[in-house]
Amino acid sequence: MLILSLIFTLKARACPFKNFIVTFYDIIICIIALFNDGYY
């Protein structure tokens, strides 16, 4: 559950426009964007 919460938090910060579309690919892209660009 902690991992899922972390993933949703990362997605909420990195990809707010995709909050309700959680796929493995989206998660990877959002995490990469998070580390490359920082928090939005």
Report pLDDT digits (tens) over 9-34.
666 665 555 555 566 777 777 777 77
Which is more confidently placed, 8 or 33? 33
Supply the range of the domain harboring residue 33: 2-37
Which two three-digit tokens encode residue 20?
């309700």
Q: How many domains does the chain have?
A: 1
- The whole-number pLDDT of residue 34 equals 74
Which is more confidently placed, 8 or 40? 8
- The whole-number pLDDT of residue 13 equals 61
Rounded CA separation 5/37 (Å): 21
